[in-house]
Amino acid sequence: MIGTVSLAIIPLLVAFFVTYGAFHKVPVYETFTEGAKEGFEISIRIIPYLIAMMVAVAMFRASGAIDLLSLAFEPILKWIGMPADLLPLAITRSLSGSGARGIFAEIANTYGGNNPITKTAAVMLGSSETTFYVLSVYFGAIGVKKFRHAVAAGIVADLAGILVALLVSKLFFY
Amino acid sequence: MMNWIWLFFILSSVIISLFNGKIDEVSNAILSSAQSAVIICFGLIGVMSLWLGLMRIAQESGLIKLIAHFLSPFLKRLFPSIPKNDPVQADIALNVSANALGLGNAATPFGIKAMEGLKRFNPNKPDVASDDMCTFLTINTAGIQLIPVSVIAILMTTGSENPGEILLPTLITTFSALCIGVAFVKCLIKISPNPGRKK
């Protein structure tokens, strides 16, 4: 059911845009190609920003820094009642979407789909967005280099998300 | 701040990997991630062009204005720099709804369009983010998604009896994170608003 709906959304949306345009006497084909021209330039403009961000994040993940952080944070984790297995996910979810999905798949494989730890991890991943990717792509596209409050607010929202995920999961799954 | 974060990532990785012997993995990661960043951007060209083309139709046909008109009163509060009924409001609305529906590929072009729109009302120097850009990206990084499809898929393959039970907790979590993030960014904006064009 969920699968069918999300599969149908894109074709329906495309059909709706085009039909609405034609109905309002817009030359849809010409207008489409005119607008699509911008796509190339914007995608290319993002490249340097994305390279900067992805290289730094990939280095960080490859160096084992996340394991080290897990070790350092263990006392705090005990205190807030977070299973240590969830920490790599909590850190990675702001940095790398594919990385976070990989870690989640590992957790789910280890504990099984019905374990509360897996479910907590699911909530943690499902409620997140790769903050650093969003910042570098969106600001990169318009050439903004000073991000001001966006970084701090993104990090605070991520931290809040981790804590709320733990809390809500405690209520729902334990 | 971005300068410091970037420096921190790079330096800490090198120092740590020198001690734990993972320096060769870091070396590989540098080269392969630079390459995959380019591959991602090239992959983006197709979807980006597709949605920007459709967006242009929506713009010419007045659909964007219509959406903006309905959401104007609400968005006016969140983004005070945008004038009433400006098309940027529709770009923001489309970006947020595409994200909510899990259409990440469509959300990015809408979001970039919205950022370009916000740029027109940026009172700062062009390379400095405006207050409203910060608010917009905070909403984006909170990542409201009604149905986290990939998470559900993984749950299903690992024998979950009821993958749907994570939906409500996930929604509560994202929404709380969103509210906290927006409240926080609004506080920061109050403390230190747009610096303007002076140095």
pLDDT given for residue A13 in this prediction = 83
* ipTM of this predicted structure: 0.87
pLDDT given for residue A2 in this prediction = 52
CA B27 to chain centre: 29
B159-172 average pLDDT score: 90
Distances (CA, A) of B89 to B2, B86, B110, B117: 28, 6, 11, 9
Q: What percent of chain B has pLDDT over 90?
A: 51
B32 touches chain A (CB under 8 A): yes
Determine the Cα–Cα distance for residues B116 and B183; give it in Å rounded to an integer. 24
B41 closest CB neighbour out of A32, A35, A50: A50
- Using H for helix, E for strand and C for coil, what is the string for A40-76? HHHHHHHHHHHHHHHHHHHHHHHCCHHHHHHHHHHHH
B177-188 average pLDDT score: 96
Phi, psi angle pair for B162, to nearest 5°: -145, 75
Q: Which two tokens stand for residue B90?
A: 């529709």
Which of B9, B97, B125 should one mutate to test binding to chain A, selecting the residue with the greatest count of A CBs within 10 A?
A: B9
A141 and B116 within 8 Å at the Cβ level: the answer is yes
pLDDT given for residue A45 in this prediction = 87
Enumerate the residues of chain A whose CB falls inside 8 A of the CB of residue B6.
Answer: 52-53, 56
B100 touches chain A (CB under 8 A): no
For B57-110, how does the pLDDT look when each residue is reduced to its tens digit (9 = 90+)?
988 998 888 888 888 888 888 999 999 888 899 999 989 888 887 777 778 899
Which of A148, A162, A172 should one mutate to test binding to chain B, selecting the residue with the greatest count of B CBs within 10 A?
A: A148
pLDDT given for residue B55 in this prediction = 87
DSSP summary character for residue B108: H
Which of A55, A101, A137 should one mutate to test binding to chain B, selecting the residue with the greatest count of B CBs within 10 A?
A: A55
More confident residue, A141 or B146: A141
Q: For residue B199, what pLDDT band results from cuts at 50, 70 and 90?
A: low
pLDDT given for residue B137 in this prediction = 96
pLDDT given for residue B156 in this prediction = 87
- Short-list A128, A131, A123, CA closest to A174: A123
B41 and A169 within 8 Å at the Cβ level: the answer is no
On average, the pLDDT of chain B sits at: 89
Judged against a pLDDT cut of 60, whether residue B35 lies above it is answered with yes
B35 touches chain A (CB under 8 A): no
Q: Give the HSE-up count for residue B85: Cα atoms under 13 Å, Cβ half-sphere.
A: 5
pLDDT given for residue B27 in this prediction = 95
Determine the Cα–Cα distance for residues B36 and A55; give it in Å rounded to an integer. 9
Spell out, as residue ranges, where chain A has pLDDT lower than 70: 1-7
